[in-house]
């Protein structure tokens, strides 16, 4: 047995019985228990004497959301720095890769906003809101967005949760550190290594703390569902059902876009693409992690789809660190859904800000399970949406996270197929 396997085995034996249950099953158990408690406490007609108890049920969800908001900015900062410092991006192919990733992510967000604007899932049910939130109408002002992208102080975005300013700082430091690393490698020096190690340790630390918070999600789900059922019955979940259908429809449309790009931009037949990538899709869905699916994706792209190793590596290994199309789509739809739910309207300018922040927030977070919940707080904050409504989305995020992760992997595979071109590998070898 290897050291890694023995360590994992030791952790498994040392963890409590609850920790050995898969997170998905934990959430399902919490949902069943929450519905039972909610019915017992009134199912929409609560006894006034239980008001304090019912309100206290939401405390775990509030604590989880506070922790997610606190982790959002350091996660994005260290994720971008870590990705830029550790990813090997070739010159010409790297520029084409960047264009493909940006195009796919932008299309995904536009698809999500289109579906959310057409179906308007937030209007399908009534949810009582505890706060009145006025969202200031904004017009499209590119110069204003550009002006706001430059922070007044280096640490200010970490406090204000301004994702655009945060990404500007992260990219600036990341690009400079990467350039210094390249210079020192060319000179045979290793002075960059301590910096890379520190960033790697910080990234691992934030990811581990995030895992602690995610472990509390079942308790948050129990609390928010039990309170909602007790106070309002099952009416609020009608719109959540509409939201699930809308997100799944948008993800299917994004998948159709990928297959169209593969059909006309590469030599791979779409059916072969789907059949060859089935193992990668299932791995992504079952693990809810692009990182866990990465080696499987790299393998099937070469052995089952038949791509060149260089193309498979760029899309599945390099692109996966930046590509998060499904998550970006989901976050944009979530923002629009909540705005509809609370009776507010996001203007064209605010939807443009949602597009920009969703793109930036998805950078570097692809390798962290459930990171979409963290970065969503930044997207909401950018257009003034109340982040407490993310607690409602937590109840369905466990399922939609798996679906969007599969789309993330499909996007990585699409990029690989497009980079491979219109001539099969066998013709090169002939």
Check residue 337 and give its pLDDT.
92
In degrees, to the nearest 5, what angle opens at C-alpha 291 toward C-alphas 286 and 292? 40
Residue 137 has pLDDT above 50, yes or no: no
Residue 260 has pLDDT above 90, yes or no: yes
User: Does the residue 426 lie in any domain?
Assistant: no
At 250, the pLDDT band (50, 70, 90 cuts) reads very high
User: Does the residue 45 lie in any domain?
Assistant: no
At 366, the pLDDT band (50, 70, 90 cuts) reads low
Q: What is the pLDDT of residues 372-385, one digit of tens each?
A: 777 788 888 888 88
Overall domain count for the chain: 1
Residue 213 has pLDDT above 60, yes or no: yes
Q: What is the pLDDT of residues 23-42, one digit of tens each?
A: 778 888 888 898 898 888 87
pTM score, whole prediction: 0.78
Residue 183 has pLDDT above 60, yes or no: yes
Give the C-alpha separation, 356 to 379, whole Å. Answer: 9
| Stretch among 63-67, 167-171, 288-292, 350-354 having the lowest mean pLDDT | 288-292
User: Does the residue 168 lie in any domain?
Assistant: yes
**C-alpha gyration radius of the chain:** 22
User: Does the residue 243 lie in any domain?
Assistant: yes
Residue 261 has pLDDT above 90, yes or no: yes
Q: What is the pLDDT of residues 306-322, one digit of tens each?
A: 898 888 888 887 766 67
Mean pLDDT of the chain: 79
Residue in the structure block whose two tokens are 């605010």: 350
Tell me the residue range of the domain where 62 lies: 22-39+50-420
User: Does the residue 333 lie in any domain?
Assistant: yes
Pick the more confident residue, 357 or 19.
357
Pick the more confident residue, 428 or 238.
238
Give the C-alpha separation, 76 to 163, whole Å. Answer: 8
User: Does the residue 10 lie in any domain?
Assistant: no
Residue 93 has pLDDT above 70, yes or no: no
Residue 115 has pLDDT above 80, yes or no: yes
User: Does the residue 125 lie in any domain?
Assistant: yes
| Stretch among 16-30, 41-55, 132-146, 380-394 having the lowest mean pLDDT | 132-146
CATH number at residue 210: 1.10.3860
At 88, the pLDDT band (50, 70, 90 cuts) reads low
User: Does the residue 135 lie in any domain?
Assistant: yes
The Cα-based distances of 315 to 5, 298, 429 in angstroms read: 29, 8, 22
Average pLDDT over residues 335-351: 85
Check residue 173 and give its pLDDT.
84
């Amino acid at each position: 047995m290897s050291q890694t396997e023995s360590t994992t085995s030791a952790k498994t034996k040392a963890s409590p019985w609850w920790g050995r249950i898969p997170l998905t099953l934990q959430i399902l158990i919490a949902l069943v228990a929450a519905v039972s408690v909610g019915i017992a406490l009134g199912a929409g007609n609560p006894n006034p004497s239980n008001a304090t108890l019912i309100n206290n049920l939401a405390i775990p969800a509030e604590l989880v959301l506070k922790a997610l908001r606190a982790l959002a900015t350091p996660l994005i900062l260290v994720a971008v720095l870590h990705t830029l410092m550790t990813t090997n991006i070739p010159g010409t192919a790297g520029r084409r890769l960047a264009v493909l990733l940006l195009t796919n992510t932008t299309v995904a967000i536009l698809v999500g906003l289109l579906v959310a604007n057409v179906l308007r899932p937030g209007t399908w049910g009534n949810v009582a809101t505890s706060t009145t939130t006025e969202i200031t109408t904004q017009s499209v002002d590119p110069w204003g967005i550009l002006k706001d992208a430059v922070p007044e102080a280096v640490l200010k975005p970490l406090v204000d949760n301004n994702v655009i300013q945060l990404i500007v700082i992260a990219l600036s430091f990341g690009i400079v550190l990467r350039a210094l690393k390249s210079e020192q490698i060319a000179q045979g020096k290793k002075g960059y290594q301590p910096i890379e190690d520190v960033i790697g340790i910080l990234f691992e630390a934030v990811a581990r703390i995030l895992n602690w918070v995610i472990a509390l999600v079942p308790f948050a789900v129990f609390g928010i569902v039990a309170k909602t059922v007790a106070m309002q019955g099952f009416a609020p979940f009608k719109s959540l059902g509409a939201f699930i259908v809308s997100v799944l429809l948008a993800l299917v449309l994004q998948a159709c876009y990928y297959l169209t790009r593969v059909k006309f931009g590469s030599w791979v037949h779409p059916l072969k693409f789907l059949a060859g990538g089935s193992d990668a899709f299932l791995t992504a869905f079952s693990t809810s992690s692009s990182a866990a699916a990465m080696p499987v994706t790299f393998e099937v792209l070469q052995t089952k789809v038949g791509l060149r190793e260089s193309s498979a590596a760029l899309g599945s290994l390099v692109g996966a660190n930046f590509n998060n199309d499904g998550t970006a789509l989901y976050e944009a739809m979530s923002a629009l859904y909540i705005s509809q739910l609370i009776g507010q309207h996001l203007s064209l300018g605010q939807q443009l800000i949602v597009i920009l922040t969703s793109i930036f927030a998805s950078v570097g977070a692809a390798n962290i399970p459930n990171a979409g919940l963290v970065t969503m707080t930044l997207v909401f904050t950018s257009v003034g949406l109340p982040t407490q409504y993310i607690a409602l989305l937590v109840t369905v995020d466990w399922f939609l996270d798996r679906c969007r992760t599969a789309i993330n992997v499909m996007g990585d595979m699409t990029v690989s197929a497009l980079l491979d071109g219109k001539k099969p590998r066998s013709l090169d070898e002939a």
